[in-house]
Amino acid sequence: MEAPNGGTPQNQVVAAATYLLGLVTGIIFLYLEPYDKDEFVRFHARQSIAFTVAWLAINIVLDVFISIFGFSFLGKLLADLLWLANLALAIMWIFLMYKAYIGERYRIPYLADIADSFGKP
């Protein structure tokens, strides 16, 4: 049984698993036989890598500013913003796994375009 966007039931589970450990599982499934030839799995693996890198970048940048401003009002405000950003990103992470599991190719705006450029055979 084919899903609307081309994933088989087994590949849908694998595509969801590409998000499980972010960068690690994204890279593994991008190059692991036989999934390295399945465009549905490769799409989600590339997007998982890009999503994880973006998440890490957001955390690093905000952590630097939090360290600079310390216990001032702005530092506490940035710490709260980082907490909210991490909550939103965790929800997005679960949403991406769900979309892959049901066989959809949900594209994160801008980020999916960047992800399309790497991991090409």
Per-residue model confidence as pLDDT tens digits over 76-92: 999 999 999 999 999 99
Q: Could you tell me which residue, 89 or 9, shows the higher pLDDT?
A: 89
Angle, CA of 44, 48 and 53, to the nearest 5°:
155
Residue 77 in any domain: the answer is yes
Residue 1 in any domain: the answer is no
Give the closest residue to 121 by CA, choosing from 41, 62, 36. 36
Residue 110 in any domain: the answer is no
31 pLDDT exceeds 80? yes
61 pLDDT exceeds 80? yes
Total count of domains within the chain: 1
Q: What is the pLDDT of residue 112?
A: 84
User: Which domain, by its residues, includes 77?
Assistant: 9-105
